Amino acid sequence: MLGECLENVRKLVPLVHNITNYVTVNDVANVLLACGGSPIMSDEPEDVEDITTICGGLNINIGTLNLSSIKGMFLAGKRANELDHKVLLDPVGAGASALRTNTAIRLLDEIKFTAIRGNISEIRTLAFGSGTTRGVDADVADSVTEDILDQAVSFVKSFAKETGSIIAVTGAIDLVSDDVRCYVIRNGRKEMGRITGTGCQLSGMMTAFLVANPDDLLKGAAASVCTMGLAGEIGWDNMRPEDGNSTYRNRIIDAIYNMDKEILDKGARYEVR
Amino acid sequence: MLGECLENVRKLVPLVHNITNYVTVNDVANVLLACGGSPIMSDEPEDVEDITTICGGLNINIGTLNLSSIKGMFLAGKRANELDHKVLLDPVGAGASALRTNTAIRLLDEIKFTAIRGNISEIRTLAFGSGTTRGVDADVADSVTEDILDQAVSFVKSFAKETGSIIAVTGAIDLVSDDVRCYVIRNGRKEMGRITGTGCQLSGMMTAFLVANPDDLLKGAAASVCTMGLAGEIGWDNMRPEDGNSTYRNRIIDAIYNMDKEILDKGARYEVR
Amino acid sequence: MLGECLENVRKLVPLVHNITNYVTVNDVANVLLACGGSPIMSDEPEDVEDITTICGGLNINIGTLNLSSIKGMFLAGKRANELDHKVLLDPVGAGASALRTNTAIRLLDEIKFTAIRGNISEIRTLAFGSGTTRGVDADVADSVTEDILDQAVSFVKSFAKETGSIIAVTGAIDLVSDDVRCYVIRNGRKEMGRITGTGCQLSGMMTAFLVANPDDLLKGAAASVCTMGLAGEIGWDNMRPEDGNSTYRNRIIDAIYNMDKEILDKGARYEVR
């Protein structure tokens, strides 16, 4: 059951180094604290190697990248690799600009990622060097639906094989896969797309789950996705008529804070293919 | 009626590129999502031209500007002009420092803005190269009140004529003007001044309204100002005794999320001079 | 009584220049507004001297420092010293990286700080150039508890004497000291540690209290610590079962917004040693 993966985060309190965008960084920090981890942020090249050394995991998110923080990403990623830390890539906006696409692909070339999490459009860009990106949301035409599920599962498995990373594609249906098994997850609500940064938040949280679940990384990653999606469902149930996306953001993080093994085990909706 | 301008945003889902300060950026993103737009943030000079190309509008906000992001503002602004995108300037803190004043004035010289939104002190700085700024709030002595309304309306009309931009001066009374017509708007509450960033949020939202209402830009801009002010009123009505400015922030964004044509048409309080 | 220190902030509305990290900056701004101050943020070296000149206080927080913002810290700090402004240092993560430790120590060498606020681990790093930092939270083994209180009081007094600054060490028990008197404060709740940035928020607020209480700086600093801790208690009392750390963040800021002289005088729990 996935609930024990959350318990492991609560027990270990993994310290996660985040090089992440300034849009959603506060929510990333609060989600890490909500799930039981501990966040630290640093992107200055002269600072990141020391910071990542004292952490258990590194979350690299390329939203609002700049030339200095890109240097920081490479330095931190290489150091984290040397120390055998868990490292996650969130290729925000890959496909939307040459700098983002090229940076994501170079990161993939030079750093070994434990996991890569993005929407289908971003992950396709990494896999095929093409695709279109509509802002940071998945291209609707390319979303993972029941109709194309088999094809999508086979794509993520093969990209996981190619990269040696866990691939997490999140959207209406979430896929979390290594080259053998793929968790198909049906938690979450479409209204989560009206809040900025639920993807970034998940990337931070997933890094904590990877650190705390070294014996079954795929299960740990899937547990983080179910935690976020289920929190989206619980948070929505707690909404009042006058509430909107700003309060929903708070309610989702609150639901993660209050989640425990039992709630997650009962609410997680997934199959393994 | 202004309500249809909001409906147009919901229908078009305009993608807005924001080069904005890191203080209020998360709220800007959530307000854009609340009103029906879609936000993307990027300030790195090597990234901004690609990003602005895929958008419909560009929101340039000079709060927490730095030498790199200033370069980004010029590059993005010029590209957006070439593509005939809607471009908005929020001259946060113009008058408070030489760098801010000079950057705002240079932007005005080199880039064609569809609209400029600021408090009276900032707009006066752009117009006269002088004025004082108290933080990012309007100088109280220079606020737009009923007493000096005629004079203020005539000032914004003449600055709109000079710049060829829609001028939006927000404060106790909001003025949104081109060189002919001026919307005088009396929505909003003074308590909105106790939240950081309602001005920045409005600038992001106004950009989305401009993109979605190309046939009557002035009306679109005025509709965004009424939306923000009315949300401030509705949000305040939803406050409980223990609530303060942090919850008020959420309630305002929530009210935008829940606003529709009917609510806006009924609640908008304005006259055209 | 400490309540009058809060009243002084409300009366003066001190403008505070913040060079602070991008993780918690929005909350810092909203807390400053909640307590009655007015925030402005700027870290660009070419901007900071002008900005700090129009303010009454400067809050330097080294979380997410970068080479450019470090330059800004020194320029702003020196200008603020020339103008005899109140200047506060929050050495976030000192001890966690060489850059942070060295920057904090260099700042201490070159700038005269009215107050220094951090957790025990960060303050120990400044005092002894050593110590360990777990993220930005105090090392549990080194926390200030009743058992080691005498020793801790004597440490902060002697570090206050050495630096000529007010030293504020916050944690389970808070100490606010000059070289003669030490406020031992027992407000607050442990759950505040599950929100990112309550320390950063306090640093911003403390700067406003210093500006507004020039005749008794130590009392002003202590009043800000009691305000934050008491807000943590009041905010918690307003929590509902489904609420978590994200809503708690809002409730704390709300409680500061609604606090007045009477509430603070009644709720402040401290002794002077």
Report, as an integer, the average pLDDT of B39-60. Answer: 98
CA distance A16 to chain B (A): 21
Q: Which of the residue ranges A83-92, A129-138, A139-148 would you say has the lowest mean pLDDT?
A: A129-138
- When pLDDT is averaged across residues A132-146 and rounded to a whole number, the result is 58
Q: Searching chain B, which residue's CA lies closest to the CA of residue A196?
A: B30
* Tokens linked to B37: 């737009």
pLDDT of residue A129: 74
Handedness of CA B217, B222, B225, B231 (dihedral sign): negative
For the cut 80, the answer to whether the pLDDT of residue A65 exceeds it is: yes
Q: Do the Cβ atoms of B96 and C40 come within 8 Å? A: yes
Q: Which domains does chain B have, with CATH numbers?
A: 3-272 (3.40.1190.20)
Amino acid B129: pLDDT: 74
Residue-wise DSSP of A127-196: HHS----BTTBPPGGG---GGGHHHHHHHHHHHHHHHTSEEEE-SSSEEEE-SS-EEEE----GGGGGST
From A241's Cα to the closest Cα of chain B, the distance in A is 9
pLDDT for res B254: 98
Return the pLDDT at C129. Answer: 74
- Residue A164 touches partner B, C-beta closer than 8 Å: no
Supply the pLDDT for residue B204. 98
A190 in B contact zone (CB under 8 Å): no
Range with the poorest average pLDDT among A141-145, A225-229, C13-17, C108-112: A141-145
Q: What is the mean pLDDT of chain A?
A: 95
Structure-token match 């700027």, residue found: C42
Q: Do C26 and B197 touch (CB under 8 A)?
A: yes
Look at residue C143 in the predicted model and tell me its pLDDT.
Answer: 82
ipTM of the complex: 0.95
**Which of B12, B21, B42, B236 has the highest number of chain A CBs within 10 A, making it the mutation to test binding with A?**
B42
Residue pLDDT, tens place only, A190-223? 999 999 999 999 999 999 999 999 999 999 999 9
Mean pLDDT check: name the lowest of A120-129, A197-206, A241-250, C219-228. A120-129
Residue B112, min C-alpha distance to chain A (Å): 24
Distance from CA of C122 to the nearest CA of A (A): 15
Q: Among A26, A196, A247, whose Cβ lies nearest the Cβ of B250?
A: A247
B66 and C44 within 8 Å at the Cβ level: the answer is yes
Report the residue of chain A nearest C96, measured CA to CA.
A51
Residue B135 scores a pLDDT above 70? no
Of the candidates C22, C99, C242, which has its C-beta nearest A47's C-beta?
A: C99
CB atoms near residue B110 (< 10 Å):
12
* Residue A131 reports pLDDT greater than 70: no
Tokens of C244: 């978590």
Average pLDDT over residues B201-213: 98
- Confidence at residue A137, expressed as pLDDT on a 0 to 100 scale: 44
* Contact criterion met (CB < 8 Å) for C93 and A68: no
Q: Nearest chain B Cα to A27, which residue?
A: B26
Chain C residues whose CB is inside 8 A of the B246 CB are 30, 34, 249-254, 257
Name the residue with higher pLDDT: C132 or C38.
C38
Amino acid of residue A266: K
Closest residue of chain C to B247, computed from CA coordinates: C250
Nearest to A97 among B25, B41, B50 (CB): B50
Q: Can you give the pTM of this predicted structure? A: 0.96
Counting Cβ atoms within 10 Å, is residue A199 exposed (0-12), middle (13-18) or buried (19+)?
buried
Nearest chain B CA: its distance from A33 CA (Å): 19
What pLDDT is stored for residue A130 in this prediction? 53
pLDDT higher than 70, residue B139: no
Would you say residue B141 has pLDDT above 80?
no
Q: How far is B248 from chain C (nearest CA, A)?
A: 9
Nearest to B30 among A133, A137, A195 (CB): A195
Check: CB of residue B175 under 8 Å from CB of residue B188: no
Cβ distance of B26 and A137 shorter than 8 Å: no
CA distance B186 to B91: 23
Asked if residue B3 lies in contact with residue B260, where contact means CB atoms within 8 angstroms, the answer is yes
Residue A241's closest chain B neighbor by CA?
B258
Q: What are the pLDDT digits (tens) for C61-73?
A: 999 999 999 999 9
Least Cα separation, residue B64 to chain C (angstroms): 5
C195 touches chain A (CB under 8 A): yes
The residue of chain A with its CA nearest to that of C194 is A33
Chosen from C201, C246, C249 to mutate, greatest number of chain A CBs within 10 A: C246
**How many beta carbons lie within 10 A of that of residue C236, not counting itself?**
17
Chains that touch A (3 or more CB pairs under 8 A): B, C
pLDDT of residue A143: 82
- Among A238-247, B108-117, B140-149, C87-96, the minimum mean pLDDT is found in B140-149
Per CB-CB distance under 8 Å, the chain B contacts of A22 are: 22, 25, 41
pLDDT above 70 covers what percent of chain A?
95
User: Which of B97, B194, B243 is the best mutation test for C, with the most CBs of C within 10 A?
Assistant: B97
Percent of chain A with pLDDT over 90: 93
Ramachandran quadrant class, C129 (left: phi over 0; alpha: psi -120 to 50; beta: rest): left
B135 touches chain C (CB under 8 A): yes
Which 51-70 residues of chain C touch chain A by CB within 8 A? 63-67
Is C12 within 8 Å of chain A by CB? no
Is residue C139 over pLDDT 90? Answer: no
Specify the pairing of strand B38-41 against strand B86-90. unpaired
Distance CA(C232)–CA(C253), nearest Å, equals: 9
Q: Which of B97, B247, B249 sits opposite C51 (nearest CB)?
A: B97
Cβ-contact A32, A38 below 8 angstroms? yes
Taking alpha carbons only, the member of C77, C132, C68, C142 closest to residue C101 is C132
Nearest-10 Cα torsion for C130, C273, C176, C15: -160
Q: Do B40 and A96 touch (CB under 8 A)?
A: yes
Compute the average pLDDT of residues B229-244: 98
For position A127, what pLDDT does the model report? Answer: 94
d(CA C15, CA B139): 13
- Give residue B133's pLDDT band: very low, low, confident or very high (50, 70, 90): very low
